[in-house]
Structure formats: C-alpha cells, structure tokens
Chains A and B, each alone.
Chain A
Amino acid sequence: MASPAIPLKLTMKDFKSDQEVRWCPGCGDYAILAAVQSFMPELGIPRENIVFVSGIGCSSRFPYYMNTYGMHSIHGRAPAIATGLSASRPDLSVWVVTGDGDALSIGGNHLIHALRRNVNLKILLFNNRIYGLTKGQYSPTSELGKITKSTPAGSADSPFNPLSLALGAEATFVARTIDSDRKHLQSVLRAAAEHEGSAFVEIYQNCNIFNDGAFDLIKDADSRDEHLIRLEQGQPITFGRDNEFSVVHPEGSFGLQVQPGGTPLVHDATVEDPAYAFALSRLSGSDLNTTPIGVFRNVQRPSYDEIVRKQLLDAQAQSTGAPEEMLNDLLNSGDTWTIL
C-alpha cells in the first residue's frame, strides 16, 4: 500500500463524496470542509490512505463528506478508535474531527491520553462553544453565565481553555485557527500534517443557529485588528491597527502580557518548555479580547505509533522461523510431559 511513484494529481473535487452536505445553511462547518477538501491534494497522499474518524455532534458528520475512508463513531471516542487504527496501520494518514462537547466533555479522557501518548493523529476540534446537534445547551467552552436552554439562569461552570488543556496533556503540536480564514486555516493544516505525532488544532467555528457571532470580535473587519494576534514563527508578536501592541514577558512575571509598544517577544513554537506556549494560550479567555491564532507549540517527541512499531519490529527481528513453528514452540514451552 505504498504511495505510487508518480506524483498524484488530485484536486479538491476528488475529495468530495457523493453525499449531500446537511449542515444548517450558514454553518461555519461548510467553510472548514471546503478548506480541508481543497487542502488535501497538497498532501500528495492517495485518497485510500487517508482516514477521517469522528465522534458525535454536528462537526462529526464531516467524514461522510470526504471521499476518503471514514468512520462516524460514537460520542467522544474518536481519539481512542483512531489510536487503534493509527498504531496498527502506520501507512495511513489518520484525522480526527471532533467538537467542543465531543472532545472536551464526553471524550475528554481520550483526548488527553491521545495527546499524552503522542499518537500520530491530526485532531481538528471545531469549537463553537455550544451544543448544536442537541439544540443549544451550553458546552465546556461556553463562557461562565451562558444562558441556554439547559441554563436559564446562566451556566455555573467555568469553561476549558482547549489549548491550555492540550498543553497540560503534553501535546507536541498545538494550534488555533478560524473557520472563515481559509488561508490561515490551511497554513495551520499544513503545519499539522507535517508534524509527526499528535497535532491538536482548535478551529473557532460559528454556529449561526445557537451561538451566532460568538467569534465576531476577532472576525469582523472593524474589530479584529485590535483583538487578533497572529503568531508567526520567528516573527515579533505584535498586533493592532498599526501593530501598536506587543506581547511581552514582564520581568518577574510568570505569564505574558499585552502592552502598547515595548519590546515584543519573537515567536518560537519549538521552545521545548511548554510554559511558553501555555502563557500564550492564557492571553485569551472567554472574552477573546487578545486572541492568538497560529501554531503555539511544535516540538518533536517520538510518537506512540513509532515506539509501538519499533517494539514489534525488534521482537520480530529477534525471532526466527515461520509463525507456525513459533506457535508450536510457544505451546510446548514450560514444563511439559509426554504420555506414550
């Protein structure tokens, strides 16, 4: 199942399945789907070697629309299922599509353990800060006090910061992007695809039915420049209409701060200490007031798949004989006795 020798000439059309796309009109998922479909040919990977695995929720319908292999599984379990697939099939490019409820609520355990293991998965978390498929309950990324069908007096629980969570779970690649910015989204996908190990990508996605405008502050042309921080490797971290704001590390402080002017930090996602990326992730809260996007962390660590593979290959290299002979030896091992 190796890639063919001649370069593949696939187009976006090759990645569209014959299924009618059934998200609500105006849903941010359409933009993400189009961005992924038009990005896929760039990978140069044959369609048959790509698998999309999802859980449950609006975003998890995604695999049906990709003309690759795909599994729409059960709520929260996609990272676990994808782990078994990826660990046993190193020839595949395995992508997980999930949402804020799927990945951070019901499936939180699998997400953190996939990241900790550094399984070779590309995990796309569509974060719309609401439950869409069940018609509008608050999610683990909804802001505190969110008034929804299930919280008429406002939600009482504080949200997760998905990137802080991923970093705490030892993720080796952590990024954030936005559904409506195709160019940026694709640049993040590119970096994620190149990463060996788990790549965690949070995609801010608008649910125009139950949480419309959740990310307007960093999307609208008249406000985004003052609130959106674009991280670029090797570049000073500045933003503002005239780049008048800098992200700095004040002396004696554990975290980073935004201030007018000053000496901005130069972004380096390859910093080994996760404290840097964590500090970046803390710049934005529910209010999105200063929200970095881009690749926060991108470091190398052997993937789970690679370690598992190596153990198998080492054991196989040390053994001789046909499997049937080895089985016969195994059955006959230990204290045996023979009756004539």
Chain B
Amino acid sequence: MAAPAKRVEQLDRVVIRFAGDSGDGMQLTGDRFTSETAQLGNDISTLPNFPAEIRAPAGTLPGVSSFQVHFADYDILTPGDSPNVLVAMNPAALKANLSELPAGADLIVNTDEFTKRNLAKVGYASSPLDDGSLSGYSVHPVALTSMTVGALAGLGIAKKDAERAKNMFALGLLSWMYSRPFESTLRFLERKFAKRPELVEANKTAFRAGWNYGETTELFSVRYEIKPAKMQPGTYRNITGNQALALGLVAATVRSKLPLFLGAYPITPASDILHELSKHKRFGITTMQAEDEIAAIGAALGAAYGGALGVTTTSGPGVALKGETISLAIALELPLVIVDVQRAGPSTGMPTKTEQADLNMALYGRHGEAPLAVIAPKSPSDCFHAALEAARIALTYRTPVILLSDNYVANGSEPWLLPSVDELPDLSVSFTTEPNAPDGKFLPYLRDPATMARPWAVPGTPGLEHRIGGLEKADKTGDISYDPANHEFMVRTRAARIEAIQVPDVDVEDPSEAARVLVLGWGSTYGPIGAACRALRQRGLTIAQAHLRHMSPLPDNLGEVLKSYEKVVIPEMNLGQLAHVIRARYLVDAVPFNQVSGLPFTAATLENMLEDVVKNG
C-alpha cells in the first residue's frame, strides 16, 4: 500500500455517511472508520441511524441503516447536518439518503446492487445511475460486490461470505481516500473473527482490495488529508454515550466504595449499559436481568436498602412502569439512580430514534407530591460525568435521581479526554452505626441538618433495627402516621430537601458580552445549539448560550440569567416541556422551538431560527 502518485487535497472537515441494508454491516464500517479517524487525531462526532427491526426485508427503504461520521481539524460539536460523501450500498440506501445530500457531494454507489429487481423494490422506474437524475453530484460508480468477490477468489471462501466482505472493500476505499491509518482495523478483524481465520483473511483482503482500488483506478483522482485537530493534551478514546454512562457507573462504584447493583430489563436504546456493566463483575458489580421493569427497579431498591449503589437502566416505557417504585424510593429516602435513555414516544413509538419528551415524566410523572433530582448529559462523553453526578446526588442526599440521556447521545460518539481517576469526585458515604437520639434510640427520619438526608442504617447493624415503608411516616421516628400536620410537614420537607440539593450555577457563553438573545437548552441539544451559536457569531451576530445539566433542582442563578436577556429561546426535541417549566417558574416569556422528528436538530435549522430571532426580535 505505497503512497500513490495522486493529487492530495487538504480539507478542514468532512462528513461521510455510510448507508446500506441492515445486513450490510454499515454500523461496523462506520465504527471502524471512526476509530481510524480518532487515531489520526481529528475531532469526531458520529450519528448512527438504524431501524428497530433486526433484519427488515432486504433492499427496502425501512431496512436502510446508516452511520454518519463528521471529522475535522478543529473541535466540532455535531455529527454534521448533511454529508459531503454518501456511500450507498444499494438503491434503497441511495433513495433514503439522497434528499439530504447537497449538490456537488461525492456519491459512491455499489453498482452491483442496482438491478431491475432492487430498483423496483424502492420504486425507481429507471436506474438513477443512467437516467441523469444524479447529474448534480460527483458520482463514483463502483462494482463493490463483484470486485470483492473477485478479490477473494482463490481463498476458498463461500460466495455468500465473500459478498458479505464488501463493506470492508468500501472501508478500504474510503480509508484510502481520506488517508486513514488502517492498522487498528486489521487488528480489529483479527480479534473479531479469531475463531474463523478464513474470515480474517477474507476481510483483510477485501479491505486491501478496496484501498488498492482507490490507488489505481482513475475514478478517484484526488486523495484528501485532514490534519489533526488542536485538542487539549491527554489520552483520548472514542466513546458512545451508553459506554460512557456505564463507565461512569463503574467509576461511581469505585469512588463510593459501595458495591453496585444494576437491575435492568432489556429495552432499546438502554440495553448496552446492561451489557457493558455485566462485563465488570471484578469491580463488585452485580447485574440482574429482571423479569420486568418493575422487578428491575425493585431489586435495585432492595439492594440500596442493603447498602449498595442501586441502579436501574431503561427507556421511557420502562420509567412509566417504574413510577410506583420510584415513589416508594422517595418515601423511603433511599439512594437510587434511574437511567432513562429517551426514545421517540408515546408507547413503543420509534425505539431507535431520539427525543427529549420524557422531561415531564421525570419531573412530575408520579402519584402524590413526589419530587426527585433530574440531570441530563449534554454529549456522549458527558454521560460519564453525568453518571457520577447522579450517583453523588443520590448518595449524598439519599434520593432517587433520574438521569435523562437520549438515543442521540447514547449511540453517538466523540473523542473523550480520559479523566485521571484521582481527580474524580470522592463519593464515599458513611452508614449510620450508632443510635442518633439522646435517649439512645434510633430515629430513622432524623435528618442531617446540612443535607436534609436521613440516616442510612443498613440491615446487619446491631441496635438500629427499624421498619420503613410506603405509609406516611412520622417526622424523626418514621412510625406510621396519619396526623394531618405531620403529613403536611413531610410533604413540604420532601420538596424542600430536593430544592436544597447543591448544584452548580449555569454558565452563560457570550463572548461579545452584548447579546440580547439567550438560547437555553438541556441535554443532548448542546452540540447543535453550540454549533449554531458559533456560526452566528462567525457572521458577526451576538447570541448567548446557556445549557442546563441539572433539571431538578434548577441552578440558583437561572432566574437571574433568564431575566438579563431581552429574549429567551428554548429549542427542544419535544413540544416545549422545559419552556413550560421556565415560563411557569420564572414568569419569563420564553419562546419554544420544537422538533419531534425522531432526529436531532441540525445546526443549520437552529442557525436559521436563531438568526431570525436575533435580527427580528
């Protein structure tokens, strides 16, 4: 694979979308390209997009799976609005993605799949490769499948296996085009197919064939280079939100010195957290795949009662089922972390698409006055820190905490500057081991004046035997109480203790210090909002950006921040749930901007909207 004598062009950023049938291995291809790109030191942001069906009918529009990777020589915030390069493995992939492709973009098409039958499946009367409909693009027709099969001839591989290696041919070609280092991919293939050496060889051969094809064919006259981004010194790895969240929970068990107990029921898009944590038993982590969502949180709460860091992971439908147990945890005042990786609802909705529409449920979705803490990560790598923060609040304040991730950050990835373990927060707790009343009795609901938390006296502690439950409890003693004044006091106390949780102030980013418009976001919209703000500022407009991580309690300075701008705009992937909260609580006439398509905001959408607000008020 010697360097070719082809023109090399420098680019500052590229967005590539790999699209194919669910069975074509596009997620894997995208993942490997991302990993190669990370090795090179570009900044990266990725967006996988796949159907909920494991194998939708081959060659159909619902079966299209894609993976978009944006990489640049500067720091980027989103996976990119529209691709500069589309790799379309079949007519369905072309049809499903073409509308998002800007004129002039590169289009690499697997011509072998453009058969009459496949064209008909997606309603093409004639082949777009021949009828001139792609004339606005730079089309590179490549017989990916047959060239792969040809390259593997002589290896003694079954035709079907040979055809399946076409994604590696495509990866090889793209790796050549963008001058990616490929050693990690070859190592990966050795690991992945360790049990079938013939497939290691086949996939490596296909990869090399793709690379060599790029080098020799006249179809590709230019190779591109994207210099490493200027990033903070340190060690990085590329990470998805779900992986980061799982690692954050591992860090929480280490830093709290408490065993972690995860109760979970498989649900898209949260299951990967269960998968990841189940691998880390050496840290004293127990994972239980429960019989249902209710049992999952029940077991986690039971473990928390016994002194573990109790965690349950799910998505919106699961949170709905867990509601009664969350209320119990609120009454028992025990620490518990509930992870909701949001997806498009209601009901089953679109399980593999993203949305932020569980905020109302997280804040209010329980019977009775049942407040708790809610936090939301802003990016894939931030899921690590959000998990630690959720554990900190749960353990310090003895309360359930809902962590609102979503499909966009959960499956998206970005480079993560690895933290030093020593610098992670110390989450150690002390269990109560001695009676806490002057008369030598134990009062399970006597509160710590600083945190308003009640003692955590775990079973096995002699002399502190006590009973707790869902019935209203008398202040201090925790005995059953139907006393009206006591209930009023306890309801108000449960609300006050959540409000008293110490959370950092919200930061405002406004380099001009002259902005009149504030854009307020929360959770996963951080990337596109930030990218839109940058673009506006580059064009000489002023705008301020604030992003919430703590949704309950809200930061103390939020009201003051909101009131110091003429206009507040709140983009959300729901119908205005945070906007409602802000308007009700601060009497600020915030303007909602909503999108519920199952897809994240593009930076351009937000840029256009914000430009209009900034210019026209």
Q: Please give the residue numbers on chain A whose beta carbons come within 8 Å of chain B beta carbons, in ascending order.
A: 1, 17, 19, 46-51, 53, 56, 63-64, 66-74, 77, 80-89, 91-92, 109-110, 113, 308, 311-312, 314-316, 318-319, 323-324, 326-328, 330-332, 334-340
Closest to B235 in A: A338
- Complex contacts, A113 vs chain B, CB 8 Å: 290-291, 295
Asked if A80 and B290 sit within 8 Å, CB to CB, the answer is: yes
Asked if B281 and A332 sit within 8 Å, CB to CB, the answer is: no
Docked CA distance A1–B463 (Å) = 13
Asked if A335 and B460 sit within 8 Å, CB to CB, the answer is: no
Docked CA distance A109–B321 (Å) = 14
Closest to B32 in A: A335
Q: Which B residues from 222 to 254 make CB contacts under 8 A with A?
A: 228, 231-238, 247, 250-251, 254
Docked CA distance A70–B467 (Å) = 5
Closest to A48 in B: B462
Asked if B421 and A316 sit within 8 Å, CB to CB, the answer is: no
Asked if A82 and B302 sit within 8 Å, CB to CB, the answer is: yes
- Complex contacts, A64 vs chain B, CB 8 Å: 467, 469, 480
Docked CA distance A308–B480 (Å) = 35
Docked CA distance A339–B231 (Å) = 7
Docked CA distance A340–B232 (Å) = 8
Does chain A have a CB within 8 A of B303?
Answer: yes
- Complex contacts, B305 vs chain A, CB 8 Å: 71, 81, 84-85
If A46-B462, A74-B324, A84-B263 touch, whether A308 touches B286 (CB-CB below 8 Å) is yes
- Complex contacts, A86 vs chain B, CB 8 Å: 302
- Complex contacts, A319 vs chain B, CB 8 Å: 282
Closest to A315 in B: B281
Docked CA distance A330–B238 (Å) = 14
If A336-B235, A337-B235 touch, whether A84 touches B302 (CB-CB below 8 Å) is yes
Docked CA distance A328–B237 (Å) = 13
State the Cβ distance, B237 to closest chain A Cβ, in Å: 5
Docked CA distance A330–B234 (Å) = 16
Q: Which B residues from 259 to 290 make CB contacts under 8 A with A?
A: 259, 261, 263, 280-284, 286, 288, 290
Q: Which B residues from 49 to 70 make CB contacts under 8 A with A?
A: none
The 8 A-B residue pairs with the shortest CB-CB distance, nearest first, are: A72-B469, A84-B302, A84-B299, A80-B298, A315-B281, A81-B302, A80-B295, A85-B302
State the Cβ distance, B497 to closest chain A Cβ, in Å: 21
Name which of A46, A47, A83, A316 has the most chain B CB atoms within 10 A of its CB.
Answer: A83
Asked if A85 and B280 sit within 8 Å, CB to CB, the answer is: no
A/B interface sample: 16 pairs, CB < 8 A: A64-B469, A66-B467, A69-B465, A71-B332, A71-B467, A72-B470, A80-B299, A80-B302, A81-B302, A83-B288, A87-B288, A88-B308, A110-B298, A334-B237, A337-B38, A339-B231
Asked if B303 and A339 sit within 8 Å, CB to CB, the answer is: no
Asked if A337 and B460 sit within 8 Å, CB to CB, the answer is: no
- Complex contacts, A318 vs chain B, CB 8 Å: 282
Q: Which B residues from 455 to 478 make CB contacts under 8 A with A?
A: 459-471
- Complex contacts, B286 vs chain A, CB 8 Å: 87-88, 308, 312
- Complex contacts, A109 vs chain B, CB 8 Å: 291-292, 295
Q: Please give the residue numbers on chain B whose beta carbons come within 8 Å of chain A beta carbons, in ascending order.
A: 35, 38-39, 41, 184, 228, 231-238, 247, 250-251, 254, 257, 259, 261, 263, 280-284, 286, 288, 290-292, 294-295, 298-308, 310, 324-325, 328, 332, 418-419, 421-422, 459-471, 479-480
State the Cβ distance, B364 to closest chain A Cβ, in Å: 19
Q: Which of B236, B288, B328, B422 contacts A337 (CB 8 A)?
A: B236
- Complex contacts, A1 vs chain B, CB 8 Å: 460-461
Q: Which of A46, A66, A315, A339 contacts B282 (CB 8 A)?
A: A315
Asked if A336 and B283 sit within 8 Å, CB to CB, the answer is: no
Name which of B237, B298, B306, B418 has the most chain A CB atoms within 10 A of its CB.
Answer: B298
Name which of B292, B298, B302, B465 has the most chain A CB atoms within 10 A of its CB.
Answer: B302
Docked CA distance A70–B232 (Å) = 52
Name which of B234, B237, B419 has the most chain A CB atoms within 10 A of its CB.
Answer: B237
- Complex contacts, A316 vs chain B, CB 8 Å: 281-282, 284
- Complex contacts, A50 vs chain B, CB 8 Å: 459
- Complex contacts, B290 vs chain A, CB 8 Å: 80, 113
Closest to B243 in A: A334
State the Cβ distance, B391 to closest chain A Cβ, in Å: 14
Asked if A89 and B470 sit within 8 Å, CB to CB, the answer is: no
- Complex contacts, A92 vs chain B, CB 8 Å: 306, 459-460
Asked if A48 and B459 sit within 8 Å, CB to CB, the answer is: yes
Docked CA distance A89–B431 (Å) = 15
Q: Which of B228, B295, B307 contacts A110 (CB 8 A)?
A: B295
Q: Please name 5 further chain A to chain B contacts, defined as beta carbons within 8 Å, in addition to the given A83-B302, A89-B303, A338-B235, sorted by A numbering.
A: A48-B465, A64-B480, A74-B324, A77-B325, A319-B282
Docked CA distance A73–B283 (Å) = 29
Docked CA distance A73–B467 (Å) = 11
Closest to B38 in A: A337
State the Cβ distance, A314 to closest chain B Cβ, in Å: 8
- Complex contacts, A326 vs chain B, CB 8 Å: 254, 282-283
Asked if B238 and A91 sit within 8 Å, CB to CB, the answer is: no
Asked if A335 and B238 sit within 8 Å, CB to CB, the answer is: yes
Asked if A339 and B283 sit within 8 Å, CB to CB, the answer is: no
State the Cβ distance, A14 to closest chain B Cβ, in Å: 10
Docked CA distance A326–B284 (Å) = 12
- Complex contacts, B35 vs chain A, CB 8 Å: 335
Asked if A72 and B468 sit within 8 Å, CB to CB, the answer is: yes
Q: Which of A68, A88, A89 contacts B465 (CB 8 A)?
A: A68
- Complex contacts, B263 vs chain A, CB 8 Å: 84
- Complex contacts, B324 vs chain A, CB 8 Å: 74, 77
Closest to A318 in B: B282
Closest to B262 in A: A84
Asked if A81 and B298 sit within 8 Å, CB to CB, the answer is: yes
Docked CA distance A315–B301 (Å) = 24
State the Cβ distance, A231 to closest chain B Cβ, in Å: 31
Asked if A48 and B328 sit within 8 Å, CB to CB, the answer is: no
- Complex contacts, B41 vs chain A, CB 8 Å: 337, 339
If A80-B294, A337-B235 touch, whether A48 touches B299 (CB-CB below 8 Å) is no
Name which of A64, A84, A312, A324 has the most chain B CB atoms within 10 A of its CB.
Answer: A84
Closest to A51 in B: B459
Docked CA distance A311–B279 (Å) = 11
If A17-B467, A74-B470 touch, whether A335 touches B288 (CB-CB below 8 Å) is no
Docked CA distance A339–B282 (Å) = 30
State the Cβ distance, B153 to closest chain A Cβ, in Å: 32
Docked CA distance A66–B465 (Å) = 9
- Complex contacts, A328 vs chain B, CB 8 Å: 421
Asked if B39 and A337 sit within 8 Å, CB to CB, the answer is: yes
Q: Which of B231, B250, B460, B462 contacts A327 (CB 8 A)?
A: B250
Docked CA distance A48–B432 (Å) = 14
Asked if A49 and B459 sit within 8 Å, CB to CB, the answer is: yes
- Complex contacts, A315 vs chain B, CB 8 Å: 281-282
- Complex contacts, A69 vs chain B, CB 8 Å: 459-460, 465-467
State the Cβ distance, B492 to closest chain A Cβ, in Å: 23
State the Cβ distance, A166 to closest chain B Cβ, in Å: 16
Asked if A48 and B467 sit within 8 Å, CB to CB, the answer is: no
Docked CA distance A63–B38 (Å) = 57
Docked CA distance A80–B328 (Å) = 14
Closest to A2 in B: B460
Docked CA distance A91–B458 (Å) = 12
Closest to B477 in A: A18
Closest to B300 in A: A84
- Complex contacts, B459 vs chain A, CB 8 Å: 48-51, 69, 85, 89, 92
Asked if B298 and A77 sit within 8 Å, CB to CB, the answer is: yes
If A48-B462, A48-B463, A85-B302 touch, whether A327 touches B237 (CB-CB below 8 Å) is no
Q: Which of A63, A312, A323, A339 contacts B469 (CB 8 A)?
A: A63
Closest to A46 in B: B462
Asked if A327 and B301 sit within 8 Å, CB to CB, the answer is: no
Asked if A338 and B234 sit within 8 Å, CB to CB, the answer is: yes
If A19-B479, A311-B281 touch, whether A73 touches B470 (CB-CB below 8 Å) is yes
State the Cβ distance, B23 to closest chain A Cβ, in Å: 25
Asked if A336 and B294 sit within 8 Å, CB to CB, the answer is: no
Asked if B288 and A84 sit within 8 Å, CB to CB, the answer is: yes
